[in-house]
Every structure is written in structure tokens, then in C-alpha cells.
């Protein structure tokens, strides 16, 4: 792979790995939605998509009419596809730096405050008044737990309230540092160093290749 394609491919992924690693190394639990999680991953692999499928199926004839705007159209199409996937996803919450044992008491307290009829059935939690039905999916290696919707009948307003209340509660709770996050950070730094090295060593060649890529 030439320096230009290497920089495009691993640049966004390197930033993603560094941010994800720093989140995992935090001493406080961090919560996000499944939609944001998938959206961030989709942006992280954007470079690979650009130098892979987009170049492989590049519409050469369209360049004659639209010029450099073809790349903008392809990237816009990818972003729109990613947004569609995110919008079609079922509700899901991801809590980093915690375990099931640490999260469950906090979740129980929040659920009881939001819905007095909330009840557990094994790893499943039902909040009938909020219209929320979920189950826990722990990922012990990365020290995170996902709250995944159970069934298609979900109240998105109820999930929004749960997200707001639980987000504030877990931030005040005790967390578990995921030392595995150091691997993400080191790999991200290694990738960024590689990108910086190629830009410093062959900066002019990279810019020339980029100009040719846009004007192909």
C-alpha cells in the first residue's frame, strides 16, 4: 500500500483507538448510546472504505462531468448509509469501565425511581410504565456492559429518560479500569506515528498522489 492510501486508511482508525483506549483507562464509568458507538466505528473505518470499495467501484465516467465532486458524493452516500443504519438500530446503551455486579445495583435504583413497577427476571429488566424491556450483555475483557433492548416494542422516550438518569448515576459510581485500553492507545499512537512519518518523509509525494486521486 502506498503512503497516501496508508495514511487515509489508518488515520481515522488511529484516532478512534486512542479515544477508545483513553475512555477504557478512565477511573469513572462512561456511558454512550449504541447509535453513537456504531456511528463512531463507522467513521473510524471510513478511510478503509475510501481506499477499498470506493476506489474499486469508482465511477470513472462521472469524473468527466462532476470532477472532484465525485468523491464528495461518494463520502456523502457512505455517511447517509451509516446514518440509516444508526436510525434503524434498536435502542442500546453501552457503559464502559464497569461490570455487571457494579452496574446492577445502580441500574436497579434508577429503574425504581423512574418506574415503581420495574422488575428483574434473571438478566432481563422490565420497566412497563416507561415501555422499556432490556437485558444485560457484559463484555468482561473490555470491562463494559451493554443494555440491549429485548423485543421490537420499545418506547424511545422511555429509553431517553433512562439514558439521562442512568448516565448521571453511573458517572458518580465506582468504576473498573480496563487495562486492555492501553493496547488500544499504544496501537493508535503507533498508527499515528506511522502516518506522521510518511507525511514527513514523503509529504510532497503524498500531496501529489492525493491531487491525482481527486482528479483521476
Which residues make Cβ contacts (< 8 Å) with residue 165, sequence separation at least 6? 110, 113, 114
Following CA atoms 61, 67, 71, 73 in sequence, which dihedral angle do they give, to the nearest 10 degrees? -80
Diameter over CA atoms, the chain: 65
* Cell numbers 456523502: residue: 76
Whether the pLDDT of residue 213 is over 80: the answer is: no
Q: What is the DSSP letter of 91?
A: P
| pTM, 2 dp | 0.85
* pLDDT tens track for 115-154: 999 999 888 999 999 899 999 999 888 889 999 998 888 8
Q: Write down the architecture of domain 91-178 according to CATH.
A: 2-Layer Sandwich (3.30)
For the chain, the structural domain boundaries read: 1-89+179-216, 91-178
Amino acid at each position: 500500500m502506498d503512503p497516501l492510501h496508508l495514511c487515509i486508511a489508518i488515520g481515522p482508525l488511529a484516532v478512534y483507538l486512542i479515544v477508545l483506549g483513553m475512555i477504557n483507562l478512565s477511573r469513572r464509568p462512561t456511558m454512550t448510546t449504541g447509535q453513537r458507538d456504531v456511528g463512531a466505528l463507522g467513521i473510524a473505518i471510513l478511510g478503509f472504505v475510501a481506499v477499498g470499495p470506493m476506489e474499486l467501484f469508482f465511477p470513472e465516467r462521472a469524473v468527466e462531468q462532476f470532477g472532484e465532486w465525485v468523491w464528495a458524493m461518494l463520502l456523502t452516500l457512505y455517511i447517509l448509509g451509516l446514518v440509516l443504519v444508526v436510525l434503524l438500530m434498536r435502542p442500546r446503551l453501552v457503559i464502559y469501565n464497569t461490570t455487571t455486579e457494579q452496574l446492577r445495583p445502580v441500574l436497579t435504583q434508577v429503574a425504581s425511581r423512574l418506574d415503581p413497577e420495574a422488575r428483574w427476571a434473571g438478566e432481563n429488566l422490565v420497566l412497563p410504565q416507561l415501555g422499556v424491556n432490556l437485558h444485560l450483555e457484559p463484555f468482561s475483557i473490555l470491562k463494559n456492559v451493554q443494555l440491549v433492548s429485548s423485543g421490537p416494542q420499545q418506547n424511545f422516550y422511555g429509553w431517553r429518560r433512562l439514558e439521562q438518569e442512568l448516565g448521571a448515576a453511573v458517572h458518580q459510581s465506582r468504576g473498573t479500569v480496563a487495562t486492555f485500553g492501553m493496547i488500544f492507545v499504544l496501537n493508535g499512537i503507533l498508527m499515528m506515528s506511522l502516518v506522521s512519518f510518511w507525511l514527513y518523509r514523503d509529504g510532497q509525494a503524498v500531496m501529489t498522489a492525493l491531487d491525482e486521486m481527486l482528479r483521476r
